[in-house]
Chains A and B, each alone.
Chain A
């Protein structure tokens, strides 16, 4: 089955800096790569996703890049704000397989 590795496990940045979280996956059949944000005690919420037919997708301060050859994808957050502080999860799925999640990255943005 699919295996998703995510790093770093924690990331501390100053407000206004950029943050990058990286994930690798094992199943070359995977074709859908979402990112979820989970605030303390809350449900995971989708913030951006990318499908295998594109290499990059942007939504305001958030972007995701995908390298299918290397089987890795990354989340980029620019101009970070304190409200970006949360745990971020990457995930991968494809075909009839269900989403497999990484272990998460705790992002702390200091004012």
Chain B
């Protein structure tokens, strides 16, 4: 598509529930990134995909967080047993080439609120 698309734009859930957040990157972009942005903070790196594989998942905070990109395009971030501290805006970005000195284009984000 023309830009990075994220759904849903807003998600409200209860503590303990499971959520999925979806990202559709710019067509042809091989690299896809997930960041998390809390109020008043900069984006915090979670995971980066090069093609179908997770090239760097060092930013995932714990094993409740998991992400997939099975066909090298759309990615899904999955959060199990959500906690109130997971509330944030989850940003997806894509770039034409791999990580490093490459321009990232961000989506509008999925705002997750855990009650």
Contact = CB atoms under 8 A, between A and B. Distances in A.
A32 B91 contact: no
Given A32-B101, A97-B99, A104 B45 contact: no
Given A32-B100, A98-B99, A104 B106 contact: no
Contacts of B55: 96
Interface in A65-79: none
A42 B42 contact: no
Interface in A1-60: 1, 4, 6, 31-32, 34, 36, 42-46, 49, 51
A64 B40 CA distance: 23
By size class, the interface of chain B is: 20 to 34
B44 interface: yes
Interface of B: 33, 35, 40-45, 48, 55-56, 58, 91, 98-109
Question: Shortest 3 CB-CB distances between A and B: which pairs?
Answer: A32-B101, A101-B42, A43-B106
Contacts of B45: 98-100
By size class, the interface of chain A is: 20 to 34
A93 B101 contact: yes
Contacts of B42: 4, 6, 89, 91, 101-104
A45 to B, nearest CB: 7
Contact of B98 (A44, A45, A96): A96
B103 A94 contact: no
A44 B89 CA distance: 12
